[in-house]
Structures are given as structure tokens and as C-alpha cells.
């Protein structure tokens, strides 16, 4: 797993370095923005702001996703989680997403999508926010954006649609089929990204899992200003999360290039704004410099994880020695003499992280035709199960039947 992720990051840097500069500098079209925003545009606003900001720091995303799956870290919640994150130098948006391991893990696994999203937000923030509202209006017109026990949907001036958690301290992450909730997709050449839904409750086109009880210490410090195309920051909360580091004074969110590390910027204007001293993408030295930085940062992270694993192993061994009786210690000593010194392979096992089971919420990209076929199969099976009354489950049909009906 460690080698695979390291290779992915290095390849990602090279993919941008080798691409023609003119092609990289072209902005994303509305079709491309709708395509990449489709699976997240209906997230609650506070979650969506953190996803957008975090996507501009892809290395932080990968490192945080790894950390979250390590041992006791996966069980941390609330104040204990916030406390454990104090020592991390990740951006506060990354720390906020650690509470949503499926979201964070899928951003790490689908790193190319994450980087595209971050590049789009950095270069076209106004357009990204406009297209989110466009997608929300599509879902509203299709009758699939309503308040329920998981969320509250309201309309502000100029038809701005705001989505908030129904409860202030619990956040639900919606998973949905874009071709259903938005209606038939309007760009056949740009089918929407699509995340498979988990086995969870279906409500009005959405699949809802369990709610996440949020940690107040790392949450609630930002919100959309839709009318000005900004993300407003509670400066005091942000500085408390980012304690002992660079302090923020501007209440509008600003990207920090030092936090992004060696990952290159796609757009020339963005690159000139945040790293004017960098050479143009395509320069051999620039590519080599980035690759070395990426590899070193990943090695530093991996070495720290190995040290933690070795330290934990030693602590467990010492604890076991303290708990053993004198007779058990004597017997263990005799066994050690008979068996000889431990083999070197045992120490290598400590260094080798175990293969991690893929996250059930992992993002998957499917084309529109696949979605329609899957929806049709689901329609047939659910109709058979529901019987004459129709049951309570969704009806497929690629956005036309059941869950896709206009109300």
C-alpha cells in the first residue's frame, strides 16, 4: 500500500509536468465542472466547503487518510480526535474531514479527481460555486432536493440554495446517483462522476448512512458566502485549530501555497499567483525537483509511521513482561535459549504495513450508460421484491422512474 500510494503521487506530479503547458492552462468548461461536481454538489454546505479547500492540498489528503486508518486513530472521536490532531500540520480543512473517513479515503484513492477539483477551485472559484448552485437547482427542479431528518434545504435571495444539517451537531453524507437526482444528464459527452451507494436507507433519491457526530473543536469555522463567491472564515476558530503556526487575519479563505508542498499548479495564472518563482511546467529540472520533494515527504511520513509501530510493539512487550509471573519469565527465558535468536524476518514484519481493506465508500467512476443499465437492473429486482404495493425502495430507470419521478 505504501509503495502504491507513493507511486501514484509521483505519477500524478509527472502527469502534470509532462502535459503541454498550453493544454494545462486551459480552464475547465462548464461541462467538465458539472461532471466533476455532480457527486458532491448536494453535500451540506459546511462539508462541501471543507472538501473544496482540502482538495487544494492533495498531499495532506493522502497523509491524513493513512493516519486515520492506523490502529487506534480509526476509533478516535469528538474531543479526543481534535486533541490528537493538534500535533498535525495539516490544513484545518483536512482536520475537519478526518471526521468523515469515507470522504477522506475516497479523495485519497481518487487522487486525480481530487487534484482536478482543487485546480478548478483555485483557478475558477466563482464558476465552481455557480455550477454547484446550477446542479442544486437541477435537483430541485427534478423534485429531489428537499428537507428531511438528515438535512434542511432553504432558498435565499437570487435563488441561492443552502443545504444544512438538520441537527447542528450531526452531519449526514448523502450518496446518490446523479442521473436520478438531477434528472436525465444534459451533457452526454461528459457523463457525471458517480460514487456507488452503500447498503443504507433510501430516501427521495438518496442513500443515507449513519450520521457523524462532529467535534466542535475542528468544525464550524467556515461557511459559504454564495453571493460574493467566497468562503468566510471565523478567524479565531481557525487560529485555535492552527495553533502555534501561521495565524490568519483575513476573514475570506485564501489558499496557502506552502501547505500544498511540491504538487504543481495546473493553471499558469494560479502558478504565477502562488509560486511565481517556479519554472514553467515542462522544464526537466522542475519535474525532477518536484519528484524528489514528493518522494521525500512520503518517506518522512512512512518513517514516522514505522517508528510509531515499533514503539507500540515495544510498549506491548514491556507491558507483557510486567504482567508475567516469575515462573512464566523463567519458562520464556528457557524457550528463548532453545529456539535461538529471533529471525530477522520478524523485525521486517514490524516495518511492513498490513494491506488495508478498501473503503466501502470508495469513489468509482461510471459512465452514463453503465449507470442506466445498473438502474434498470435495480428497478427490476426492486419491483419484484416490492410486490403490487410498490414497496418503499427506489425505482431505477436512470432517473425516470421511482426515485427519479418529478413531484
Residue 206 has a pLDDT of: 85
Residue 38 has a pLDDT of: 97
Sheet holding 206-208, edge to edge: 174-176, 206-208, 201-203
Residue 57 has a pLDDT of: 96
Among 62-76, 158-172, 277-291, which stretch is predicted with the lowest mean pLDDT?
277-291
- Tell me which of 351 and 49 has the higher pLDDT: 49
> pLDDT grade, residue 308 (50/70/90)?
low
Residue 397 has pLDDT above 70, yes or no: no
CB 287 within 8 A of CB 14: yes
Among 27-41, 118-132, 147-161, 314-328, which stretch is predicted with the lowest mean pLDDT?
314-328
Residue 300 has pLDDT above 90, yes or no: no
Among 19-33, 105-119, 123-137, 298-312, which stretch is predicted with the lowest mean pLDDT?
298-312
Please give the mean pLDDT across all residues of the chain.
Answer: 75
For the stretch 314-371, pLDDT in tens is: 666 665 555 556 665 555 555 444 555 544 444 333 333 344 444 444 344 444 445 4
Residue 406 has a pLDDT of: 37
Chain-centroid distance of CA 136 in Å reads 20
pTM across the whole model: 0.68
> pLDDT grade, residue 312 (50/70/90)?
low
Residue 211 has pLDDT above 50, yes or no: yes
Across 100-109, 126-135, 200-209, the highest mean pLDDT is recorded for 126-135
Average pLDDT for 267-278: 84
For the stretch 373-383, pLDDT in tens is: 554 444 444 44
Residue 104 has pLDDT above 60, yes or no: yes
Residue 237 has a pLDDT of: 80
Q: Do strands 201-203 and 230-233 pair parallel, antiparallel, or not at all (unpaired)?
A: unpaired
- Tell me which of 228 and 376 has the higher pLDDT: 228
The closest alpha carbon to 314, from 355, 350, 288, belongs to: 350
Among 130-139, 150-159, 280-289, which stretch is predicted with the lowest mean pLDDT?
280-289
Amino acid at each position: 500500500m505504501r509503495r502504491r500510494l507513493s507511486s501514484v503521487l509521483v505519477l500524478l506530479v509527472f502527469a502534470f509536468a509532462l502535459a503541454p503547458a498550453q493544454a494545462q492552462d486551459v480552464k475547465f468548461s462548464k461541462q467538465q465542472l458539472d461532471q466533476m461536481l455532480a457527486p458532491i454538489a448536494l453535500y451540506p454546505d459546511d462539508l462541501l466547503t471543507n472538501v473544496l479547500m482540502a482538495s487544494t492540498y492533495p498531499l495532506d489528503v493522502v497523509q491524513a487518510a493513512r493516519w486515520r486508518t492506523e490502529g487506534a486513530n480509526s476509533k478516535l472521536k469528538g474531543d479526543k480526535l481534535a486533541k490528537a490532531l493538534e500535533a498535525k500540520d495539516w490544513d484545518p480543512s483536512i482536520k475537519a474531514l478526518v471526521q468523515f473517513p469515507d470522504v477522506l479515503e475516497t479523495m485519497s484513492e481518487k487522487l486525480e479527481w481530487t487534484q482536478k477539483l482543487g485546480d478548478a477551485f483555485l483557478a475558477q472559484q466563482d464558476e465552481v460555486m455557480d455550477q454547484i448552485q446550477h446542479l442544486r437547482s437541477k435537483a430541485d427542479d427534478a423534485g429531489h432536493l428537499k428537507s428531511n431528518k438528515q438535512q434542511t434545504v432553504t432558498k435565499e435571495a437570487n435563488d441561492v440554495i443552502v443545504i444544512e444539517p438538520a441537527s447542528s451537531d450531526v452531519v449526514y453524507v448523502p450518496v446518490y446517483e446523479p442521473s436520478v437526482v438531477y434528472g436525465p444528464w444534459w451533457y452526454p459527452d461528459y457523463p457525471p462522476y458517480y460514487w456507488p451507494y452503500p447498503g443504507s436507507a433510501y430516501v427521495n433519491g438518496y442513500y443515507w448512512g449513519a450520521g457523524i457526530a462532529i467535534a466542535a473543536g475542528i468544525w464550524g469555522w467556515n461557511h459559504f458566502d454564495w453571493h460574493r463567491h467566497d468562503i468566510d472564515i471565523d478567524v479565531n476558530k481557525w487560529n485555535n485549530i492552527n495553533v502555534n503556526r501561521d495565524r490568519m487575519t483575513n476573514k475570506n479563505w485564501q489558499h496557502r501555497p506552502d501547505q500544498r508542498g511540491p504538487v504543481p499548479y495546473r493553471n499558469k495564472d494560479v502558478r504565477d499567483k502562488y509560486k511565481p518563482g517556479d519554472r514553467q511546467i515542462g522544464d526537466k529540472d522542475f519535474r525532477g525537483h518536484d519528484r524528489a520533494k514528493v518522494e521525500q515527504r512520503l518517506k518522512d511520513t512512512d518513517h514516522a509511521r514505522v517508528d510509531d509501530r515499533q514503539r507500540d510493539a515495544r510498549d506491548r512487550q514491556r507491558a507483557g513482561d510486567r504482567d508475567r509471573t516469575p515462573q512464566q519469565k523463567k519458562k520464556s527465558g528457557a524457550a528463548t535459549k532453545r529456539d535461538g535468536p529471533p529471525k530477522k524476518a520478524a523485525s521486517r514484519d514490524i516495518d511492513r504495513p498490513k494491506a488495508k481493506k478498501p473503503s466501502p465508500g470508495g469513489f468509482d467512476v461510471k459512465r452514463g450508460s453503465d449507470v442506466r443499465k445498473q438502474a434498470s437492473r435495480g428497478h427490476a429486482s426492486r419491483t419484484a421484491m416490492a410486490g403490487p404495493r410498490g414497496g418503499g425502495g427506489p425505482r431505477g430507470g436512470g432517473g425516470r422512474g421511482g426515485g427519479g419521478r418529478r413531484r
